[in-house]
Amino acid sequence: MPVADYQTYCKMLDTAKENHYAYPAINVSSIVTANAALRGLAEAKSDGYLQVSTGAAEFASGGAVKNMVLGAISIAQHIHLLAEKYDINVALNTDHCQAGKLDSFVKPLMEETKKRRAQGLPNLFNSHMFDGSELPIEENMNIAKSLVEECAALEIILEVETGIVGGEEDGVNHEGTPSEKLYTTPEDMLYVYEQLSKITNSRFLLAATFGNVHGVYKPGNVKLSPKILKNGQEALTKKHGKDAFLNLVFHGGSGSDLADIHETLNYGVVKMNIDTDTQYAFTRPIIDHMLKNYDAVLRIDGEVGNKKFYDPRSYNKAAEENMAKRVVQSAKDLKSFGKTLFQK
């Protein structure tokens, strides 16, 4: 299936909301990790997201070029080509772009989509994320409103964030953030809804925080409060009626109890970002390969090693397979397993 068009993408979100499941959103940084994510979603018969952050996009362009936009375009074009080989729907997203990088990352990618649309080609990305969580909410939403208007004209959905996800990701460190800033309030959720929903043809996602933390943590160490999402949704319906509702995104889920993850699905979470766990799943078989074949992968004491073992394909195949398995597990955890909307 080609990368989802706007109508299919909207249907994905609406169906997940109505049936209380969420899509895995797998961060990728290379052709190999993109292949693994696609393979995992296909094996799970689950629709889902592939997404690229600013750091991953820069990495994808190579250490000598370091061009975020070029790297993002490169990965996106690869996914557009490969997605056609799978019987699932795939959405493409950019992840965690702070205000200072909008003009050097998201805006140029939107310009690329304008060029593609003028040529009769599909959008490069289905959605972009603006992370204005460190800004005062009024400034955050002022920027978001302008972006939502631009996105609506291009049939792109904007993802925004209020509250701060703790921990560290992609070079941005929020360790030590005061605890009160790790939780989105009902007032925040109301404000986001009231500011963005009034824009004509707007569709948007909100990454609301409820104790989420980026990084690696043992099970039980991340203290989530999913009821925060419930309270915010109830505040919306109380003030604006039963049709007022926010599609929510769950960031920083590593180490979360499965019961907490499942609870969030009842409160409007339709997308969960997955990066730390898939990074580890990708790297683990590479480490196994190197440790078990140490003498074969190195030229030691005048020996020549064994090309079969230091050929990057040998260990990247294992990495792809293991990462795909972790994606399948994520689909099961989020209850999207076997629920693709794809139809031949």
- Catalytic positions, written as ranges: 95
The three-state secondary structure class of 84 is coil
Burial of 125 (0-12, 13-18, 19+ CB in 10 A): buried
Q: How far is CA 301 from CA 252, 291, 295, 318, in A?
A: 46, 18, 10, 28
> Percentages helix, strand, coil for the chain, rounded to the nearest 5?
50, 15, 35
The DSSP line for 104-133 is IIIHHHHHHHHHHHHTTPPPS-SEEEEE-T
d(CA 77, CA 79): 5
Residue with tokens 């076997």: 338
The DSSP line for 219-235 is TT-S---THHHHHHHHH
Q: How far is CA 182 from CA 56, 140, 201, in A?
A: 25, 16, 30
The closest of 1, 82, 94 to 34, measured between CA atoms, is 82
CB neighbour list of residue 25: distance below 8 Å, 6 or more residues apart: 48, 49, 50, 51, 93, 95, 249, 271, 272, 273, 274
d(CA 154, CA 7): 12
Asked if 191 and 137 touch (Cβ cutoff 8 Å), the reply is: yes
